[in-house]
A and B are shown apart, each in its own frame.
Chain A
Amino acid sequence: MQNYRYTKDHEWVTVDGDVATVGITEYAQEQLGDIVFVEMPDVGRTVAVGDEVAVVESVKAASEIYAPVAGRITEINPALNDAPETVNEDATGSGWFFRIQMTTPGEFDQLLDEAAYQALTGGS
């Protein structure tokens, strides 16, 4: 079982070594509704915590995605270009957004754990 951490902006993060994979939560995709486009960051871009790195477009509105950890963007999910609905269908799996080579891997542990995130969304 992978260890998921969360941000108050409804992003999830998992790590493999010092590479973080980032997406949006089930709660977020449910709130956004049908996702029609994800504007991705350039691979190679260096980001600080809280930088706006991507934008999710639903039919209704656009929402910013912020870097949950600092580092360099190493990969974006190519599937979302042609099939943005993947985020609705599998938000915490194949609907991932991008990967970050972390400069400070310890930042991951400072993110919200499952219980804290559930408390934030009022979920069970």
Chain B
Amino acid sequence: MALGGKLVPFAGWELPVQYEGILAEHRWTRDSASLFDVSHMGQVEVSGQDAAGQLETLIPASLQALPKGRTRYAVITNDDGGIVDDLLVTRRADDVFMVLNAARVDADLAWFRSRLPALAFRHRPERALLALQGPLAAAALSELAPAALKLAPFAYGEFDVGGVPCTFSRSGYTGEDGFEIGCDGTAAVTVAEALLARPEVRPAGLGARDSLRLEAGLCLYGNDIDAGTSPVEAGLTWTFGARRKAALGVPGAARIERELAAGPARRRVGLLPEGRGVVRSGAAVHDESGHETGVVTSGSFSPSLGVPIAMGYVATHHAEPGTALQLDLRGRQVPARVAALPFVPPRRHRQQPA
């Protein structure tokens, strides 16, 4: 808290929500580069015979074909075809490295260990994770870790920052170029201070991280995806790849295949409410004749667009961009239109949106 931030408790962690203010931090990330402390994320190392191949039995993504030193966004499915968690999977020289949602680590590990007893899953809560995000993220590393600039989007490497060994993945959760940097927790302040000493970089909190990811159309587990939503409804089947899509072989495959063939009953969409009122998670969505057609799962003010934005699920026949709908806001109905995601186009080196 040396930087004067506000902390809130989450999943057993004290999280920095904001430093200078969400709007300023959000805009600085879009214009320059911000450093987010995301050490609460679950960093897990997986080792064992054919780890990538075995993980494919729980994760519908092409992990065996993933070259060493590459990272992929993926989901873990449950027996009902819902989503256990979403994650980043990296194939490293000697193991597979996963970054999981903080609130899901325990459930994920229990699931993996029950289904894949031959693999070893090592949770590394003592490791810190810093996300450097923004168009000037690479410039900020030009002297501290110049080799990291050569990483392609979704590539992984290991470089020192100020004498501290760090893991780098060119990925993020903002729709901007950026890097997720792992290091030992005891050295995290050294790394963070080295990055924050750069004029391009300022600290940002999880409030800005949330408005940035919503503009980028990215899902927040527990809001936009959960154990009941399928990857088809969520628009995440692009993570499967053609080979896996043709032969899923994961828990819940029957539902996923049925929805792939016939289309899902509902789909995740962007929503643009009229006016300035912010429609938030949990608000009901109605069609023009007043019939309930879905629910808002994320809603915020968009600092980049200057208007409220939202994301949610609606019946498939209402999911076409431009469709006129109504959103509950404090007991009245606010007109809204279905909008294509993302709201703010991602720039280079991004996580592919739905």
What 1/0 flags go to A20-44 for Cβ under 8 Å of B? 0000000000000110110100000
Contacts of B277 in A (CB 8 A): 37, 39, 55, 57
- B183-217 contact mask (Cβ, 8 Å, vs A): 1 or 0: 00000000000000000000000010001000000
Does A62 sit at the interface, judged by CB under 8 A? Answer: yes
What is the CB-to-nearest-CB distance from A39 to chain B, in angstroms, rounded to a whole number? 6
Q: Is the CB of A59 within 8 A of B301?
A: yes
Q: Which of B16-24, B78-86, B91-99, B218-226 contacts A (4 or more CB under 8 A)?
A: B16-24
Q: Which of A36-90 contact B (CB under 8 A)?
A: 36-37, 39, 55, 57-62
A17 to B16, CA, bound (A): 46
**Closest CB of chain A to B105's CB: distance in Å?**
25
Q: A34-B22, A36-B301, A37-B301 are in contact. Are A59 and B276 (CB under 8 A)?
A: no
Out of B24, B211, B278, B280, name the residue touching A37 (CB < 8 Å): B278
Q: Which residue of B lies closest to A64 (CB)?
A: B330
C-alpha spacing A58/B303, complex, angstroms: 11
Say what secondary structure dominates the interface of chain B.
Answer: mixed
Given A57-B301, A59-B301, are A34 and B23 also a contact pair (CB < 8 Å)? Answer: yes
Q: Among the listed A33, A37, A57, A62, which residue makes an inter-chain contact with B21, where contact means beta carbons less than 8 Å apart?
A: A33
Query: Quick check: A37 and B22 within 8 Å, CB to CB?
Result: no
Q: Which of A36, A57, A59 is within 8 Å of B207, CB to CB?
A: A59
Contact A60 B22 (CB under 8 A): yes
Q: Please encode chain B, from 281 to 303, with 1 for each CB lying within 8 Å of some chain A CB and 0 for all others.
A: 00000000000000000001101
The smallest beta-carbon distance between A81 and chain B, in angstroms, is: 8
How distant is the Cα of A59 from the Cα of B301 in the complex, in angstroms?
A: 6
- Chain B's closest residue to A62 (CB) is B278
- Chain B residues with CB below 8 A from A57, complex form: 276-278, 301
Beta-carbon contact of B330 and A59 below 8 Å: no
CA distance A61 to B22 in the complex (A): 12
Q: Bound state CA distance, A55 and B184, in angstroms?
A: 44
B300: A residues at CB distance < 8 A = 59
Q: Which of B1-52 contact A (CB under 8 A)?
A: 17-18, 21-24, 26
A37 to B302, CA, bound (A): 12
Tell me the smallest distance from the CB of B299 to a CB of chain A, in Å.
10
Q: Choose among A55, A58, A59 the residue with the greatest number of B CB atoms under 10 Å from its CB.
A: A59
Shortest Cβ gap from B274 to chain A (Å): 13
Closest A residue to B17 by CB, please name it: A60
Q: Is the CB of B278 within 8 A of A36?
A: yes
List, sorted by A's number, 12 A–B pairs whose CB atoms are closer than 8 Å.
A33-B18, A36-B23, A36-B278, A37-B278, A37-B308, A39-B330, A55-B277, A59-B211, A59-B303, A60-B17, A61-B280, A62-B280
Known: A34-B24, A37-B308, A39-B330. 7 other contacts (CB 8 A): A33-B21, A34-B22, A37-B276, A37-B277, A37-B278, A55-B330, A59-B22
The 4 closest A-B pairs by CB, nearest first: A37-B276, A36-B301, A34-B23, A59-B22
